Structure 1
């Protein structure tokens, strides 16, 4: 049964994507851009249980506009619905994660139209952030503006040593979007987040790691392999319990009483499923659990 039917995770329905390549190879590298020059997003399955979705406009450093969101969405929904997918890696083709929003589509807009456009984009933001399956961002090159927001919608962020992270929205006369005003303070605290958001300066991988913006820094040529390693580790865990834990972390209220009530309800659901039985049996038998 799809996890979205077992736990109330919101998902958005958008237009289906055109045909796309599906591969299952041993290489840690994402598919080459020339393999599907017309597709704005690529899907491959580098190993069992792990699906990788790549933004595919490397010549433009992978901007994230409405057309790209509409290309990624059906791939993402397919991954969420497929029980064989246990973890998702999000990356960009050609050595750049995402250089930001598609400025070519921007310009002065009437407030009502701008709000409608933002609301449409919010469906995509929620889809990624509320994913019941663990998501690893493999950040090479740049994660700037909306690209930074895209990375922080993921559960784990792996960054290349030479990559850059920045939130320069003010240079365009805009406020940070793509959920950054929510995700960044939750990751690093309001004080450091305010400094990054207000100054809009670029930071390197070491500073990003020290601040807690990213979770792991590796040499540039090891980003994809490291992201797969993280995804492989996450894919070993019981999917239902992980989905519930992710949702509780993301929606945990301020009141301890409310948090404990949500915790009790969620744990009761986990105890009613088969994963606990398998986990306890594996512990007693001193073996790795085989969650399904």
Structure 2
């Protein structure tokens, strides 16, 4: 048992290092880890989750199988449901994709890309612009500056007969994304009178937001940190980005290090790097390394007035 635990821990650390370095060895190490780790353990969930992310674009069916293993233990994780939706959209299983994105948007209703992908698939793939419109409007409310979200809403409202609003939105999408040829085609389709038939093919995308900030906000909220403490962690992340250039390959590692940094500043009793790492599904050594980077770059210390919630 001790030997197995040691092997699992070593594989986990090596896989984490390979992911951080964007190494081609990552997939092989994660596959080994998935084979030797106990089903449902943190190590197993880590391996299957990251195998899914590595395989998703080129092998969506294999990625979906890994995601199913993780969702069996983490059914409340919106990111997993969104990744499952992307897998099935790539496979052409649009009704399953819609169910997955609907679940993701229910769990994280403030994430615009969940609403966008759900609405876009309903409009284009399922031929349901009436059902799609509320989701696309919500995506636009949450992210009013993104050209793809604006364009998808324009397409939907054109199909519903509001050609004037659709033209305004399509022209706005073209203004904000002038290099996207789909926007020019959308404007021409609308100016031609539009139709109730879709003018585009169904495509979805991963969210483009700040995954580090999103992850730390979610996880710190789950752990009982106050709103002020979560805001300080977000500020810490902004300061770190301004101070040095960081390559983010595993947002969970940086998010865990930010949470631990705030715990150090607030001098929270009983908070350990190992416990924080467990909740984020990453290796403690990776959290330790990233925390050291944050501490050294910003000269962070317990009670630091820059990041104390009571400042």
TM-score (norm 1): 0.32
Report which of the two has the higher share of helix.
Answer: 2
TM-score (norm 2): 0.31
Q: Greater RCO between the two (CA within 8 Å, min separation 6)?
A: 1
Choose 1 or 2 for highest CA Rg.
2
